[in-house]
Amino acid sequence: MSTPQGSSATDYEAIRNTLSRYCIALDTKNFSLLERVFTSDVIAKYPFGPALEGVPAIQAKISDREVLRHITSQHALTTQTIEIAADGRTAESTTYFTGIHFGQGKWKGQQVTAWGRYVDHFVKSEASEGQDIPPGATGRWLIAKRETVFMGRLGEEGVMDGE
């Protein structure tokens, strides 16, 4: 695999790690991890409202959203393309996901599954100590723009409402 100028093959792993960290943040409800996924001025479009600007807006919307407040979840990433730009400073990715949301309380034993894709624009910042950079990567890759597209949902939607 040839790599664009100013990047290494390990930069692809760094991008995958950033994408995975997002899922871990959702599933563990550790929303401070989102600061290690997105740029501070990120623009994110989700199917549940207008575009969100900045990490605090994403943290507030996701953590306050009934979907995550009343359920446990498991997000898995599947089919994926990553294209690092010729200058090695930006990248585009499309990643398919499956999110399974398990009901609690009266919804225990019920679930709703969502299928979709994340369409992301990444930017690379300079590497510095302790910044989630795999050995060999040329910098820290963060999402500057995200669009989340749902492709289908199946299951008991009531689990999203909680008790």
For the segment 63-72, what is each residue's pLDDT rounded down to a tens digit? 765 447 778 9
pTM for the structure as a whole? 0.90
Q: Do 4 and 138 form a contact (C-beta atoms < 8 A)? A: no
Q: How far apart are CA 100 and CA 111, in angstroms?
A: 7
Q: Which token pair is 42?
A: 């990120």
Q: Which token pair is 9?
A: 């093959």
Q: Which token pair is 123?
A: 């930017």
In the sheet that 52-53 helps form, which strands lie side by side, from edge to edge?
52-53, 38-45, 139-155, 111-126, 90-103, 71-84
Instruction: Let me know how long the chain is.
Output: 163
For 10-161, CATH number out of 2.60.260.20, 3.40.50.2300, 3.10.450.50, 3.40.50.1820 equals 3.10.450.50
pLDDT (tens, 9 = 90+) of the chain, 163 residues, equals 566 776 788 899 999 999 999 999 999 999 999 999 999 999 999 988 899 999 999 998 887 654 477 789 999 999 999 999 998 999 999 999 999 999 988 999 999 999 999 999 999 987 665 567 777 888 889 999 999 999 999 999 888 877 6
- pLDDT tens, position by position, 21-37: 999 999 999 999 999 99
